[in-house]
Amino acid sequence: MTRTLGIGLAGLGRMGRIHATNLTSRCGAARLAAVYDANADVARALAEELEVPWAASYAELLERADAVAIATPTGTHAELTAAAAEAGRHVFCEKPISLDRPTTVETIEAVQRAGVVFQVGFHRRFDPDWVAAAARIHAGELGEVTLFRTSLRDMTPPPPEFLAGSGGFFVDVTVHDLDVARWLVGEVVEVTAHGTASDPAFAAIGDIDTAVVVLRFENGALGVIDNSRSARYGYECSSEVMGSAAIARIDAPRRHGYEWRTPGLASHELPRDFEERYPWAYAEELDAFARCVRDGAPPRVSGVDALAAFDLAQAADRSWRTGRPVALTPQRTETGVRYETTEKDEVRV
Ligand SMILES: NC(=O)c1ccc[n+]([C@@H]2O[C@H](COP(=O)([O-])OP(=O)(O)OC[C@H]3O[C@@H](n4cnc5c(N)ncnc54)[C@H](O)[C@@H]3O)[C@@H](O)[C@H]2O)c1
């Protein structure tokens, strides 16, 4: 019988609880070895609920596990990842790796030096709908890709404590769509972004809650991303990739398999959040991580992929602040694609 990977989970908030549930109920190759949170009461309570051990310190969590999953606030990821790598533990880390580029690069180098598996939490790459569409796109069934459109809209915004340490709208939200853009279409050579705070609470912290990002791809395709922190009607995560031979469309699915019909009207419920939309994607990303550790295979989303998405998100942030397009040069390296950015002097007309 194959041994499952014992994962120690750090950070038991919104995202950590999803990983905890998946590791105890949906995953086949990984199991929950122990939980840890800076708030010991939170860790103790979840450990009792799930009947798993809890650790009183991060060092104890590392001792109890073969690998860690880090779902703490973004500003803490780098330090926890480096400590785990130094202790020889494989690392699954939520997106993004850190709040700044130098720390992100240092963290990638730390895991490379340690020789551990390092996967970053871009869950759509593991969702059955997105994976099926990607397989056909990569097989060339779309023909020449001309247009990419994606929408990521939260029904309600996260709490203010989370927003304060999120890294800002583009690094926290748009980063998912930027990773998908690279995955489905290819490398990006120009980013232009517009943003606004429809809720003054976002303006008060120097952030936005609504944005449109326009991409120009290396292969000539165009892309448009729209994002919202509070779409109100439901959680939407949808995309279209248009090619010369077909269009791939990934839509927001229904919350339930039933519909309520009254004369002339059929209505159904929508998913409320990412947990309802992606139960299997979040489970599969941890299972895939465990299989990489078991088989010695590279992860589907590497640290260098996460750096590329981060660089594109920062380019969007810069474009929003300056009102100018940002040009990017994708460089192919042995470990993956790295971006160099330059701000365009003139606004494109
Ligand atoms: N992949 C996705 O779809 C997705 C969705 C939401 C959040 N995230 C990411 O997950 C991470 C966590 O977000 P969240 O919404 O769950 O946050 P959260 O604020 O709900 O939870 C964070 C938890 O970490 C704990 N914590 C804080 N510092 C810690 C430390 N140093 N060690 C251990 N525990 C610590 C807190 O007590 C809290 O319980 C963020 O990086 C975020 O970007 C990813």
Question: What CATH number does residue 76 fall under?
Answer: 3.40.50.720
Element (H or E) spanning 5, and its range?
Answer: strand 5-10
Looking at the domain assignment, is residue 299 inside a domain? Answer: no
- Which ligand 1 atom sits closest to the C-alpha of 162? 19
Looking at the domain assignment, is residue 294 inside a domain? Answer: no
Name the residue with tokens 């165009």. Answer: 222
Please check whether residues 194 and 329 belong to one and the same domain: yes
For residue 262, count CB atoms less than 10 angstroms from its CB and return exposed for 0-12, middle for 13-18, buried for 19 or more: exposed
- Report the CATH number at residue 233: 3.30.360.10
Which of 19, 94, 289 is the best mutation target for the ligand 1 pocket, counting ligand atoms within 8 Å of the beta carbon and taking the most? 94
Q: How far is the CA of 15 from the centre of ligand 1 (A)?
A: 6
Q: Is the pLDDT of residue 302 over 80?
A: yes
* Under 8 Å between Cβ of 169 and 194: no
Q: How far is the CA of 199 from the centre of ligand 1 (A)?
A: 23
Q: Which of 93, 116, 139 is the last residue of a domain?
A: 116
Per DSSP, the three-state class of 207 is: coil
Please check whether residues 209 and 171 belong to one and the same domain: yes
Alpha-carbon distances, residue 265 vs 124, 166, 329 (angstroms): 32, 41, 50
Please check whether residues 233 and 96 belong to one and the same domain: no
* Under 8 Å between Cβ of 116 and 88: yes
Q: Which of 90, 116, 142 is the last residue of a domain?
A: 116
* Under 8 Å between Cβ of 228 and 155: no
Nearest CA to ligand 1 atom 21: 13
Please check whether residues 103 and 143 belong to one and the same domain: no
Please check whether residues 242 and 149 belong to one and the same domain: yes
* Under 8 Å between Cβ of 119 and 195: no
- Could you please report the per-residue DSSP string of 258-310? --EEETTEEE-----SHHHH-HHHHHHHHHHHHHHHHHTPPPSS-HHHHHHHH
Residues in contact with ligand 1 (CB, 6 Å cut-off): 10-16, 36-39, 42, 71-74, 76, 94-95, 121, 123, 158, 162, 172, 274
Looking at the domain assignment, is residue 55 inside a domain? Answer: yes
Q: How far is the CA of 13 from the centre of ligand 1 (A)?
A: 5
What is the distance between the alpha carbons of residues 73 and 275, in angstroms, rounded to a whole number? 18
Please check whether residues 60 and 164 belong to one and the same domain: no
Nearest CA to ligand 1 atom 41: 74
pLDDT category, 348, cuts 50, 70, 90? very low
Q: Which of 116, 150, 166 is the last residue of a domain?
A: 116
What is the distance between the alpha carbons of residues 150 and 94, in angstroms, rounded to a whole number? 21
Q: How far is the CA of 244 from the centre of ligand 1 (A)?
A: 41
Looking at the domain assignment, is residue 293 inside a domain? Answer: no
Q: How far is the CA of 313 from the centre of ligand 1 (A)?
A: 19
Nearest CA to ligand 1 atom 4: 15
Task: For residue 14, give every residue at least 6 positions away whose Cβ sits within 8 Å of its Cβ, in sequence order, or none.
Answer: 158, 162, 275
Q: Is the pLDDT of residue 296 over 60?
A: yes
- Summarize the confidence of residues 30-50 as an average pLDDT: 98
So what's the pLDDT on residue 3?
Answer: 85
So what's the pLDDT on residue 2?
Answer: 58
Please check whether residues 107 and 169 belong to one and the same domain: no
Which of 14, 58, 68 is the best mutation target for the ligand 1 pocket, counting ligand atoms within 8 Å of the beta carbon and taking the most? 14
Per DSSP, the three-state class of 111 is: helix
Looking at the domain assignment, is residue 295 inside a domain? Answer: no
Nearest CA to ligand 1 atom 9: 94
Q: Is the pLDDT of residue 337 over 70?
A: yes
Rg, Å, the chain Cα set: 20
Q: What amino acid occupies position 349?
A: V
Q: What amino acid occupies position 62?
A: L
β-partners of residue 242 are: 147, 247
Looking at the domain assignment, is residue 292 inside a domain? Answer: no
What is the distance between the alpha carbons of residues 129 and 340, in angstroms, rounded to a whole number? 32
Q: Which residue range(s) make up the domain with 328? A: 125-277+306-343
Nearest CA to ligand 1 atom 39: 13
Please check whether residues 79 and 206 belong to one and the same domain: no
* Under 8 Å between Cβ of 259 and 267: yes
Instruction: Return the exposure string of 195-232: e unless at least 16 CB atoms fall within 10 Å of the residue's CB, then b.
Output: bebeeeebeeeebbbbbbbbbbbeeebbbbbbbbbebe
Please check whether residues 105 and 162 belong to one and the same domain: no
Q: Is the pLDDT of residue 346 over 50?
A: no
Structural domain total, the chain: 2
Please check whether residues 138 and 270 belong to one and the same domain: yes
pTM for this one? 0.96
Q: pLDDT for 115-138, tens place per residue?
A: 999 999 999 999 999 999 999 999
Looking at the domain assignment, is residue 143 inside a domain? Answer: yes
Please check whether residues 237 and 184 belong to one and the same domain: yes
Please check whether residues 264 and 138 belong to one and the same domain: yes
Instruction: Return the exposure string of 73-83: e unless at least 16 CB atoms fall within 10 Å of the residue's CB, then b.
Output: bbebbbebbbb
Looking at the domain assignment, is residue 93 inside a domain? Answer: yes
- Evaluate the CA torsion angle 98, 63, 3, 34 in order and state its sign: negative
So what's the pLDDT on residue 176?
Answer: 98
